[in-house]
């Protein structure tokens, strides 16, 4: 039996002929025993032709959020690679890439000139792929490339991806064809018609409005005063810590990744988002060390693992603590995340890559100002760690340890 615990669309072909059960990562992490029991009871054999797997009753059907998340997940490696290559070009000097024929210029060409240009086509292409399967991939990438060329940015790429995907799916379901040419539908007819509709729609209808929205958003972020920047950082930080990998967390993260993809100069919101995403897991590790008597041995071990995961920007390290004590963990994590995000924006920290945690600091210029960034992360982690150490009721854990 296979359990697919994922929040994005994955191709289940390799599991054909096996019993397959779909669920979300959050459900699997928070209620693993219930998930396994449900899978054992309701999993069905995956039909190689239909490629459908059973899902929990009531709600794992794909919707716009999961389509968007699929696109972001495929775009993310390109964002990380491009951002780090740009940062590596800065190792030789901030303006060293401007000298043609040099290694810094080559690194900037690979990262900023190529990887960053492919981000939006990948985003749009895999949104469309999630909606309409393989026939949607080419129209989505074409629409995404046009969005980049028209200045519509990642918002235009998202619109292009959904347009291409739903057009491709509509054609697939509603266009009757003779059996003699039915086999041409997924490789010729659907990609052609969906690309035509998506391309014309982006050029003549959607491109300019989306470009205007993107310009307005960029202008707003660039013109923000200190107070507004701190407020934005606080909101994004709190969102990152609300559900630790859930929809609210992913919405904030997608916002930061999208802004990072707009240029090679780094992103202040992305820096605030990554810093805030690190502190819940680090904070739980701090709490389990500071208030050892309030934690059972298993929780102290989980705290050590959580601390390391937090350093790597893996917020899910704090999920075991949140699942067991949500009424205390969630508020204190949101407070620490909001403080971290606000401080990061106050210090005007800019980040080149959307992942990697503290290990990104090993690359010169990947983070615009290192010490203030570390201060923001440290303060947020201590707020969470010390705050939860004070709030936690340790009576049950002490009793369990004594038993």
Gap between the Cα atoms of 28 and 25, Å rounded: 5
Q: For 326-367, what is each residue's pLDDT tens digit?
A: 899 999 999 999 999 999 999 999 888 777 888 888 887 788
Share of the chain above pLDDT 70, in %: 89
- Pair (374, 256) in one structural domain: yes
Do 316 and 387 belong to one domain? yes
Whether residue 320 lies inside any domain: the answer is: yes
Rounded Cα distance, 22 and 10, in Å: 10
Short-list 79, 80, 87, CA closest to 104: 87
Most confident of 1-15, 185-199, 342-356: 185-199
Q: Residue 158 corresponds to which tokens in the numbers above?
A: 């998202």
Q: Is residue 299 domain-resident?
A: yes
User: 73 and 19 in one domain?
Assistant: no
- What is the model's pLDDT at position 26? 66
Confidence band, pLDDT 50/70/90 cuts, at residue 64 = confident
In angstroms, the CA 403 to CA 231 distance is: 47
| Residues 207-262: tens digit of each pLDDT | 999 999 988 887 777 777 778 889 999 999 999 999 887 778 888 888 888 777 66
pLDDT at 30: 66
In a domain, 57, yes or no: no
* Cα 69 to chain centroid, rounded: 7
Whether residue 70 is found in the same domain as residue 219: yes
pLDDT digits (tens, 9 = 90+) for 387-401: 999 988 865 454 444
Q: Does residue 19 sit in the same domain as residue 122?
A: no
Mark whether 190 and 144 lie in a shared domain: yes
Q: Is residue 59 scored above 50 in pLDDT?
A: no
Task: Tell whether 181 and 68 lie within a shared domain.
Answer: yes
> Does the pLDDT of residue 162 top 80, yes or no?
yes
pLDDT at 76: 82
The closest alpha carbon to 390, from 289, 304, 287, belongs to 287
Among 328, 325, 330, 296, smallest CA distance to 315 is for 330
Report the pLDDT value the prediction gives residue 356, as an integer from 0 to 100.
80
What total of structural domains would you count in the chain?
A: 3
Examine the domain organization and report whether 214 and 248 are in the same domain.
Answer: no
The gap between the terminal CA atoms of the chain, to the nearest Å, is 37
Q: How far is CA 164 from CA 94, 136, 197, in A?
A: 39, 6, 8
Task: Report the side by side order of strands in the sheet with 2-5.
Answer: 2-5, 19-23, 44-45
Q: Which of 188, 223, 258 is the last residue of a domain?
A: 223
Q: Which tens digit of pLDDT belongs to each residue from 255-302?
A: 888 777 665 456 889 999 999 999 999 999 999 999 888 888 888 998
19-23/44-45 β-pairing: antiparallel
Token code pair at residue 393? 């009721």
55 located within any domain:
no
| pLDDT value of position 89 | 83
CA–CA separation, 59 and 99 (whole Å): 55
Q: Within a domain: residue 54?
A: no
Classify residue 52: in a domain, yes or no: no
Max mean pLDDT range (1-15, 68-82, 185-199): 185-199
Q: Are residues 216 and 232 in the same domain?
A: no
- Does 237 lie in the same domain as 211? no
Which of 202, 223, 244 delimits the end of a domain? 223
How far, in Å, CA of 297 to CA of 217, rounded?
49
Burial (CB count within 10 angstroms: exposed 0-12, middle 13-18, buried 19+), residue 369 = middle
**What is the rounded CA–CA span in Å between residue 303 and residue 279?**
13
Of 197, 223, 249, which residue constitutes the final position of a domain?
223
Q: Let me know whether 133 and 259 are in one domain.
A: no
13-27, 50-64, 354-368: range with lowest mean pLDDT:
50-64
Instruction: For residue range 102-141, list pLDDT tens digits in order.
Output: 998 999 899 888 988 898 999 999 999 999 989 999 999 9
Q: Which domain range does residue 75 map to?
A: 64-223
Answer whether residue 53 is part of any domain: no
- Judgement on whether residues 190 and 70 belong to the same structural domain of the protein: yes
In a domain, 100, yes or no: yes
pLDDT value of position 8: 64
| Mean pLDDT computed over every residue of the chain | 84
Range of lowest pLDDT (45-49, 146-150, 314-318, 335-339): 45-49
Residue 293 CB neighbour total at 10 angstroms: 8
């Amino acid at each position: 039996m296979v359990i697919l615990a994922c929040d994005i669309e994955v191709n289940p072909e390799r599991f054909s002929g096996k019993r397959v059960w779909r669920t979300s990562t959050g459900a699997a992490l928070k209620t693993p025993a219930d998930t396994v029991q449900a899978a054992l009871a309701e999993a069905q054999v995956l039909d190689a032709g239909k490629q459908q797997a059973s899902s929990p009753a009531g709600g794992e059907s794909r919707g716009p959020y999961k389509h968007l998340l699929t696109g972001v997940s495929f775009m993310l490696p390109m964002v990380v690679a491009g951002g780090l290559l740009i940062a590596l070009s800065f190792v030789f000097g901030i303006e060293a890439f401007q000298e043609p024929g040099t290694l810094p210029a080559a690194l900037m060409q690979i990262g900023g000139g190529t990887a960053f240009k492919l981000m939006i086509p990948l985003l749009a292409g895999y949104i469309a792929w999630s909606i309409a399967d393989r026939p949607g991939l080419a129209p989505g990438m074409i629409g995404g490339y046009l969005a980049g060329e028209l200045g519509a940015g990642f918002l235009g790429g998202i619109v292009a991806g959904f347009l291409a995907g739903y057009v491709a799916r509509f054609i697939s379901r509603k266009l009757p064809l003779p059996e003699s040419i039915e086999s041409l539908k997924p490789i010729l007819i659907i990609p052609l018609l969906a690309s035509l509709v998506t391309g014309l729609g982006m050029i003549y209808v959607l491109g300019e409005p989306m470009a205007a929205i993107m310009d307005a958003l960029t202008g707003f972020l660039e013109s923000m005063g200190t107070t507004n920047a701190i407020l934005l950082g606080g909101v994004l930080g709190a969102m990152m810590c609300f559900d630790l990998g859930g929809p609210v967390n992913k919405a904030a993260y997608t916002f930061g990744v999208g802004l990072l993809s707009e240029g090679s100069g780094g992103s202040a919101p992305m820096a605030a988002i990554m810093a805030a995403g690190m502190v819940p897991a680090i904070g739980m590790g701090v709490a389990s060390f500071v208030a050892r008597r309030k934690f059972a041995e298993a929780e102290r071990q989980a705290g050590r693992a959580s601390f390391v995961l937090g350093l790597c920007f893996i917020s899910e390290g704090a999920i075991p603590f949140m699942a067991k004590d949500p009424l205390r963990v969630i508020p204190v994590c949101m407070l620490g995340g909001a403080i971290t995000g606000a401080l990061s924006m106050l210090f005007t920290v800019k980040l080149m890559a959307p992942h990697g945690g503290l290990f990104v600091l090993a690359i010169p210029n990947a983070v615009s100002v290192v010490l203030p960034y570390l201060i923001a992360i440290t303060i947020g982690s201590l707020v969470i760690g010390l705050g939860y150490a004070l709030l936690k009721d340790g009576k049950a854990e002490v009793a369990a340890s004594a038993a």
